[in-house]
Structure 1
Amino acid sequence: MDWLYTFIALIGSVIALGAIGVPVAFAFLLVNFGAAFLLMGGLAGVQQVVSNASSSISIFSLVPVPMFMLMGELFFRTGLAPRVFDALDKLLGRIPGRLSFLTVGGGTLFAALSGSSLANTAMMGSLLVPNMVARQYKPKMIMGPIMGAGALAVLIPPSGLTVLYGSLSNIDIGSLLIAGVGPGLLMAVLYCVVIILQMWFDPEAAPAYAEAREPLASRLWFAAQNVLPMGVVIFAVIGLILLGVATPTEASAFGALSVIGLAAVYRRLTINVVVKSLMGAMRSTSMLLLILLSSTTFAQVMAFSGASSQMVSFAMSFDLAPFTILIMMLLVLLILGMFMDQISMMMLTLPIYLPIANTLGFDMIWFGMMQLIVIELGMLTPPFGLLLFVMMGSAPAGTTFGSVVKSVVPYVVVQIIVVALIMFIPPIATGLPSLMR
């Protein structure tokens, strides 16, 4: 059982460093160098780790990460988002609870344009909360849809987290990106069902109000001017990959270029916007690449120590059904998500989970999509869900953390239901990648 002591020492050291405030990437680097020195022959082992580390981030498949980050930065800094919301709002007309439905529809669309759950949630909170409060919507109809729809950016491409997961796990990034479309859209539909049920049981949750009715032709024209052009961006990313015309790397470049083109058409492209967008994308990309470097090096140290292979053998020694092991792995992720950020969870679990999943013969696209959804759930679960804190920043005055958590519970349940559906109906996640191939 020597491998167990090594495993506990490596994982425990990372957790201990994180607990005293060391940033996760640097915590992994310190543990990597220490383990290499002790297990791989002193300074020679450290030099080997350093030489291997550079190759983990100097790969062409990671180019979509800065491109997707740039897309999101440009989209929000150019002010294209409010135009889309205004158009969707006019299009929905007098539908009861329309602002909640608008949140889900707009959040789903923005997920296909930005790729950042935090930015998605913050932007919708600042745009929609004041109007929904003025219309006397109850907190569950305001905050729940915003957080639920904001989290969709992890699934619906472009998603930087999905690219990072694919790079860490050596899964085809294009297939993994496309696989998120089905679960993401299914989740959005179920969110709308939640809103309908909430209004059914509590009609006062989203009071109706009088509003000047515009002619249908006028609303359609306004939507065509402000929503349809965004389809160019979606097609540039999702459509080109799905049709096999472009690789994820090429599609990410087309996506960034299409956002630049739209901003220029709407006369919102300025030098100041471009500089700020480039700086924001550079900061986010640098952080992700440092984390990726740390994580892949950690996996190499784990493999060299024998902890990875012995952990797989240990897990396989129990006479458990593959689905039981799968559920146990997802439950561990769900618990970790209550206390850790998404990238830290990936870095800790992937070196352990991937060998087990391969040994059990799981379809890696199917397995990866379930993992990504459960990792996304960590953004919505207390006590440290990031989107809960983002929502607190734009919530109505006097809102308590407990009410924020309570409002998101139905949307957490929806995500768990979607994971269960994917588990038993794999084509929800694997259908589009199979069609693409």
Structure 2
Amino acid sequence: MEWWVPLLLLIGGAVVVMLLGLPVGISFLFTNLLGTLFFMGGLSGLKLLILNLEEGLTSFGLLTVPMFILMGEVMFHSKMALRAIDALDYWIGKIPGRLGLLAVVSGTIFAATSGSTLANTSMLGSLLIPEMERRGYKKVMTIGPIIGCGALAMLIPPSILAVILATLIEVSVGAMLIGGILPGLLLASLYALYIVLRSWLQPEIAPPYDLPSIPLAKKIKETVIYVLPLGFIIFLVVGIIFLGVATPSEAAAMGAVGSIILSSFYGEMNRQVLTK
């Protein structure tokens, strides 16, 4: 049997099961079990699947994943990310496509504090898309920047995808995380350049609008209060790995604890946030 036949059957089976209304995780689990039975030797394949599952769940490198998720969720639900976006918005001014550019800057910073593409995209979408639509932005300049910048969390550490990939191919988790910094920043820079140039050449897709005058003192104050602390969280996660002070698992734990302490300092760590 050609290699692509099982691949097509597995992908097709997963799509069919998802169309039946089952959750994505259950759909993939069901398809993998059937694929193991039919293409990996029946019961012996199931035994191998169970052994691999146990090995994956007990991998020390994957300990970073729940810590990164916790850190991102705390940042989002405690509204620290929202306040940071507002502070960054003061500095952008009347640059063409300013809300798209704000999505790039905010998405890059939040990607370095969450590690989750889903969390990054949902945060940017819920906060920026309503404002973009209110300002008359076209779909190409609302959905595009949100999806593109939300996906930066796949590259910029602490990337959950990088941790999982490093665990699967048995390479250094720290090296994999550090290796995503330059590509992520380069991609963000290209996004920003494209948005500004496209909005300048086609102003109808991102109409300019009047902005209130913000005193310089207020800009600096908001940045110091709401943006610089996020830089400290980023250093806790990425900086100490780069300096070799801590392992990725230790850095992830420090980042999660740091985000909880920071949200408590802002008075946002309440029962509602903990429940979410």
TM-score between both structures, scaled by the size of structure 2: 0.88
Task: Classify 1:163/1:267 alpha carbon distance in 2 versus 1 (closer, same or farther; 3 Å).
Answer: same
Q: Is the 8 A contact 1:91 1:220 kept in 2?
A: no
CA distance in 2: counterparts of 1:181 and 1:213, whole angstroms: 35
CA distance in 2: counterparts of 1:52 and 1:126, whole angstroms: 38
Q: Is the 8 A contact 2:107 2:124 kept in 1?
A: yes
State the match for 2:191 in structure 1.
191
2:33 is the alignment partner of 1:29: yes
> What SS class does the counterpart of residue 96 from structure 1 fall into?
coil
CA distance in 2: counterparts of 1:14 and 1:103, whole angstroms: 36
Q: What's the CA shift for 1:81?
A: 1.5
CA distance in 2: counterparts of 1:204 and 1:216, whole angstroms: 30
Task: Classify 1:105/1:8 alpha carbon distance in 2 versus 1 (closer, same or farther; 3 Å).
Answer: closer
State the match for 2:175 in structure 1.
175
CA distance in 2: counterparts of 1:158 and 1:16, whole angstroms: 33
Gaps of 5+ in 1: 277-437
State the match for 2:230 in structure 1.
230
2:10 is the alignment partner of 1:17: no
Task: Classify 1:28/1:263 alpha carbon distance in 2 versus 1 (closer, same or farther; 3 Å).
Answer: same
Q: Is the 8 A contact 1:18 1:24 kept in 2?
A: yes
CA distance in 1: counterparts of 2:139 and 2:9, whole angstroms: 41
Q: What's the CA shift for 1:36?
A: 4.6
State the match for 2:21 in structure 1.
none
> What SS class does the counterpart of residue 114 from structure 2 fall into?
coil
Q: Is the 8 A contact 2:78 2:269 kept in 1?
A: yes
CA deviations on 1:244-267 (whole Å, 9 max, x unpaired) are 111111111011111101110111
State the match for 1:75 in structure 2.
75
2:214 is the alignment partner of 1:218: no
Q: What's the CA shift for 1:212?
A: 2.1
Gaps of 5+ in 2: 18-25
Which of structures 1 and 2 has the bigger CA Rg?
A: 1
CA distance in 1: counterparts of 2:207 and 2:40, whole angstroms: 62
Q: Is the 8 A contact 1:36 1:49 kept in 2?
A: no
Task: Classify 1:93/1:62 alpha carbon distance in 2 versus 1 (closer, same or farther; 3 Å).
Answer: same
CA distance in 2: counterparts of 1:143 and 1:223, whole angstroms: 27
The code of the aligned residue for 1:14 comes to L
Which 10-residue stretch deviates more, 201-210 or 149-158?
Answer: 201-210
The code of the aligned residue for 2:13 comes to L
CA RMSD of aligned residues (A): 2.1
CA distance in 1: counterparts of 2:49 and 2:211, whole angstroms: 65
CA distance in 2: counterparts of 1:98 and 1:53, whole angstroms: 46
Task: Classify 1:217/1:81 alpha carbon distance in 2 versus 1 (closer, same or farther; 3 Å).
Answer: same
Identity of aligned residues (%): 44
Which 10-residue stretch deviates more, 67-76 or 89-98?
Answer: 89-98
Task: Classify 1:47/1:183 alpha carbon distance in 2 versus 1 (closer, same or farther; 3 Å).
Answer: closer
Q: What's the CA shift for 1:179?
A: 0.9
CA distance in 1: counterparts of 2:55 and 2:119, whole angstroms: 31
Q: Is the 8 A contact 1:96 1:206 kept in 2?
A: yes
Q: Is the 8 A contact 2:241 2:251 kept in 1?
A: yes
CA deviations on 1:272-300 (whole Å, 9 max, x unpaired) are 32233xxxxxxxxxxxxxxxxxxxxxxxx
State the match for 2:23 in structure 1.
none
| Count, aligned residues | 268
Q: Is the 8 A contact 1:237 1:254 kept in 2?
A: yes
State the match for 2:95 in structure 1.
95
Q: What's the CA shift for 1:29?
A: 2.8
CA deviations on 1:353-372 (whole Å, 9 max, x unpaired) are xxxxxxxxxxxxxxxxxxxx
